[in-house]
Chains A and B, each alone.
Chain A
Amino acid sequence: MISQSRNRRRRVVPVKPPRPWGAIGLWTGVGLVAALIVGYTAFAAWRGSRPWNDRLTSLAGVTDYASTKPPWLTNNHKSGPLTYEVQPSVGGDHNGTWQNCSGDIYDAPIAAEHATHSMEHGAVWVTHRPDLPADQVAVLSRHVRGVDFMLMSPQENLDAPISLQAWGYRLTVEDADDQRIPDFIGAARVNAGPEQGAACSGGITATGTTPRELQPQQGN
């Protein structure tokens, strides 16, 4: 009796329950959304945390002297006119006085010897041809005026209408509306300067391409 009833019941049993498609769909959807959220967050974190020099060198048109020409990028104080390998300068020995770079816009060319010291402190130096149209200069000014660790000046004999320099890096562009300008500034400003913690205030605000010779005052 017992075994009979066993057999009978066993044979009857394997009734496949219907697939719960609703639940499967729901959990698949939830899983997908969760994976998307986690994946995007990880991607965004990775992107945001990319080292500044990776962000800088991945910009089209940026010349990387920091990696290719480290011997150029010495940082001793030297008085008098200095010769730079690149025009405008992208780093190297410089005058003991830095050009004020607290968002200063200079209306005449400045001495590379001073601007190079500003770049050592982390400034991005924006230069443009003296004949760059006023509306283009106005667009550039918006990236500079009042922004600490920024300075801008016209520059003779530029090989492009606009040239941006930071310590060890250079970007030339044709148009002030080029998106690479804010990208370059965003990556290089403060980061590129080899002297960490240095300031942009307290520098000279005079224009003129002859570096100031510091003369000790005699007397006391």
Chain B
Amino acid sequence: MVDTAPTDDLTATPAPPVRRGTPSWVAAVACALALAVGISIGILIPILRAPGDTSAEAGFARAMSTHHAQAVAMAMRAYAGSADADVTTVALDIALSQQGQIGMMQAWLRQWNLSPTSREPAMAWMDRTDMNHAGGGTPPAGSMPGMATREELDALNQATGAELDRLFCELMIRHHQGGISMVDAVLAADPEPEVRVLAQSMRNTQQADINALRDILTRLG
């Protein structure tokens, strides 16, 4: 009996365990786990989908912020110093809208958890796109397409009257043309929707500005 008793218990009595359902703590843990997985997915997806540090989007946002900042500086100079109403009006339009766009681009970088600056050369992102520096010739390190040089800025700051108006129009046309080549580069990289929408808006607006500046130059003679 002593020998058989264990056998009897193990094999002969698979007394069906009374179905008591899943213990409630197991259900609670399963629910908590499912919730944790769901929340993690919700948090991770936007992070994984955000453009990375070396993406065309991030490079464009950083470079175009710098590029725009110079346009704002030149436009503020023309707005304050010109007596030509056409020039001051287009200068105000450029300064206000490009400063507004700098804010949008900086907001993207924060939203993507990226630094507003990078140790990469400013135009490295553009070299990685399909449209590196359309028009030929990589600009010297640290510069961007269409940017005014230190000497040109000094000349603008010292110019007055019709000379200021003409110099502003010429520098801004070249600046905008360079800006459009940067826009085309980021558009060629099939960017995130928010970047594409703003880039297309910049292209459209800067081309209209170029036309307006050319009209002023023609009138100035």
Residues of A within 8 A of B (CB): 2, 5-6, 9, 13-14, 17, 20, 23, 27, 75-77, 96-98, 121, 194-199, 201-202, 214-217, 219-220
Contact = CB atoms under 8 A, between A and B. Distances in A.
B207 to A, nearest CB: 9
Interface of A is mostly: loop
Contacts of A23: 21
A192 B86 CA distance: 26
Interface size on B, as a range, is 35 or more
Interface string B189-221: 000000001100110110010011001000100
Contacts of B161: 219-220
Contact of B208 (A2, A77, A197): A77
A201 B160 CA distance: 26
Nearest to B197: A196
Contacts of A194: 201, 204-205
Contact of A217 (B13, B83, B197): B83
A97 B12 contact: no
Nearest to B18: A17
B83 A219 contact: yes
Q: Which 3 A-B pairs have the closest CB atoms?
A: A197-B100, A198-B97, A197-B101
18 contacts: A5-B12, A9-B13, A20-B21, A23-B21, A75-B204, A77-B212, A96-B86, A96-B93, A195-B97, A195-B204, A196-B197, A197-B97, A197-B103, A216-B84, A216-B86, A217-B83, A217-B84, A217-B85
A197 B18 contact: no
B12 A6 contact: yes
B150 interface: no
The interface centre, meaning the residue of A6, A201, A216, A219 with most chain B CB atoms within 10 A of its CB, is A216
B99 interface: yes
Nearest to B93: A198
Contact of B90 (A14, A77, A215): A77
Contacts of B100: 196-199
A5 B87 CA distance: 107
A76 B212 contact: yes
Interface of B is mostly: helix
B89 A96 contact: yes
A15 B219 CA distance: 102
B92 interface: yes
A98 B103 CA distance: 22
Contacts of B13: 9
The interface centre, meaning the residue of B86, B93, B198, B212 with most chain A CB atoms within 10 A of its CB, is B93
A97 B18 CA distance: 85
A5 B8 contact: yes
B142 interface: no
Contacts of A219: 83, 161
A98 B27 CA distance: 64
B181 interface: no
A195 B4 contact: no
B83 A216 contact: yes
Contacts of A216: 83-87, 219
A49 to B, nearest CB: 12
Nearest to B27: A27
B19 interface: yes
Nearest to B81: A220
A195 B201 contact: yes
B8 A77 contact: no
A194 B201 CA distance: 6
A97 B84 contact: no
A202 B83 contact: no
Nearest to A191: B197
A214 B85 contact: yes
